[in-house]
Amino acid sequence: MRIIEHRRHTMRVKPGQHLSQAGVDLARMVGQEMGPFDLVVTSTVPRAFETAIAMGFAVDEQTDLLASLPDGFEDEVAWDVGIARIAEVIRRNPGGMAAQFARHLAALHREIAARLPENGRALVISHGGIVEATAIGCKPDENYAAWGPAFGYCEGLRIYFSATACERVEMLRARA
């Protein structure tokens, strides 16, 4: 089994791109209960990179695919409505931008899983909406009704792969 933890970044000083002290503190606390990881991948946005470091993990690579929702995604569904609503929209419109993006994210996660050793682990840090779309892309037929609101800071997923086949997705909520 290969495991990918995909988390949302921590708090930043808005409108800036860098973490706040409260964000660093939360990431440190969450990071103490995580790892180790064979691979750490973040978006190209500074707050994602900084979150991984604040959690205690060096970043191996960054990718633009994790940096932002594509144009048209939020025309179909707002990123912060919760995973159940996003899943409903994707199921109803499999050719839409949200569904296409979820499939691209699933492909990225399969590629990451393929690069891990057996029993290997990876950490992925991205942003709100991207974490939810990843879950749906990896397990489109999952019942997300009980998963609650959009993922908060440092929350996300644990995705289990057998080789590159997604076997299970579970949600990870942060304790502040």
Q: How many residues does the chain have?
A: 176
CB atoms closer than 10 angstroms to residue 35: 14
Closest by CA position to 140, among listed 110, 171, 169: 169
Compute the distance between CA of residue 157 and CA of residue 128 in angstroms, rounded to an integer: 12
Whether this prediction's pTM lies above 0.85 is answered by yes
- Can you list the domains of the chain with their CATH numbers? 2-172 (3.40.50.1240)
pLDDT in tens, 160-174: 999 999 999 999 997
Over residues 91-124, the pLDDT tens digits come to 999 999 999 999 999 999 999 999 999 999 999 9
What pairs with residue 2 in β-bridges? 161
- For 81, other C-beta atoms within 10 Å of its C-beta total 15
